[in-house]
Amino acid sequence: MARRPLIAANWKMNKTIAEARGFCEQLLPDVEELGPDGAEVVVCPPYLALPLVAQLCEGSDVGVAAQNMYFEDSGAFTGEVSAAMLLDAGADGVVLGHSERRQLFGETDGGLAKKVPAALAAGLLPILCVGESEGERERGETEEVLRRQVEADLAEVADEALGGIVIAYEPIWAIGTGKTATAEQANDASAFIRSLVAARNTEAGDLIRIQYGGSVKPANAAELLGQSDIDGALVGGASLDPEDFAAIVTAA
Ligand code: PEP
């Protein structure tokens, strides 16, 4: 089954609106040159820059995703943003459960179990992040952690809808550290995640795209993206520079 790789730029809390414009003006011609046979590309700006990025990317092959959302439609939830608001602002997808949100902002599997179906119901592509800490890997608990996260976070998604989401395997010890999982470690973890989805629905196991994230750079992208079970990358640091990010898209 040929799965189109998805390369996503997670800007985190970086770039003003003007900087976001400059990035898009540089990136869009490079992506256009690669044509529709290349990887699918998504930019995940901070909320404030999202409407402008969506406007600049309209009609191009580049999609836009937010970095978080709340599962309720509206109401007294100060500081939160709903799926409908993201759609209205021009988003096509949303990153959910990034390890920084889990570690720094108290994101739980219980909350994610509501966020993933809410995103799907609204027509947003959920990019669900899962991954183990360094200690968990050293203790041999990687598969246990991945199983717990995948099972809990996708508990409320119908089996036949699982193929329509994206999972980013992001070992926490590799995020923003310059340490990258070996291609074998990343592929093994991705294959394991795929097997968890396939156990619920065989077709969804074939369809679901599993990205790798953790210090992906132009220099290591081709090897990681060449693995059989890795269908793209969620890129943090290297996605802030349009040239580096375009090089990763080209590698895919
Ligand atoms: C990320 O933010 O999801 C990420 C993988 O960051 P970095 O590429 O900087 O490790």
Range of the domain at 130: 6-12+22-31+39-251
Atom of ligand 1 nearest to the CA of 98: 3
70 sits in which H/E element? none
* Mean pLDDT, the chain, whole residue set: 96
Closest atom of ligand 1 to 216 CA is 8
Q: Is the CB of 176 under 6 A from ligand 1?
A: yes
pLDDT in tens, 54-101: 999 999 989 999 999 999 999 999 999 999 999 999 999 999 999 999
The residue whose CA is least distant from atom 1 of ligand 1 is 236
With a 6 Å cutoff on the Cβ, whether 175 touches ligand 1 is: yes
The pLDDT of 119-140, averaged and rounded, is: 97
| CB neighbours of residue 236 within 10 Å | 23
- Give residue 143 CA to ligand 1 midpoint distance, Å: 21
Per the structure, the count of domains in the chain is 1
Strand spans (E) along 107-172: 125-130, 166-169
pLDDT at 1: 62
What CA–CA distance (Å, rounded) separates 58 from 134? 40
For residue 132, the CA-to-ligand 1 centroid distance in Å is 14
Domain assignment of residue 80, yes or no: yes
Q: Is residue 94 part of a domain?
A: yes
Q: Are strands 93-96 and 166-169 parallel, antiparallel or unpaired?
A: unpaired
Q: Is the pLDDT of residue 36 over 80?
A: no
For residue 1, being part of any structural domain is answered with no
User: Catalytic amino acids?
Assistant: 98, 170
The 8-class DSSP code of residue 163 comes to: G
Residues 6+ apart with CB under 8 A from 208: 162, 163, 165, 166, 167, 194, 197
Tokens of 44: 């995940």
Q: What is the CATH number of the domain that holds 51?
A: 3.20.20.70
pLDDT at residue 38, rounded to an integer: 85
Give me ligand 1 centre to Cα 181, in Å.
Answer: 12
**pLDDT (tens digit per residue) in 163-205:** 999 999 999 999 988 888 899 999 999 999 999 999 999 999 9
Question: According to the model, what pLDDT value does residue 39 have?
Answer: 93
Give the per-residue pLDDT at 35. 78
Q: Is residue 49 part of a domain?
A: yes
Q: What is the mean pLDDT of residues 127-142?
A: 96
- Exposed / middle / buried, residue 25 (Cβ in 10 Å: 0-12, 13-18, 19+): exposed
pLDDT of residue 157: 98
Question: Does a structural domain hold residue 17?
Answer: no
* Nearest residue (CA) to ligand 1, atom 3: 236
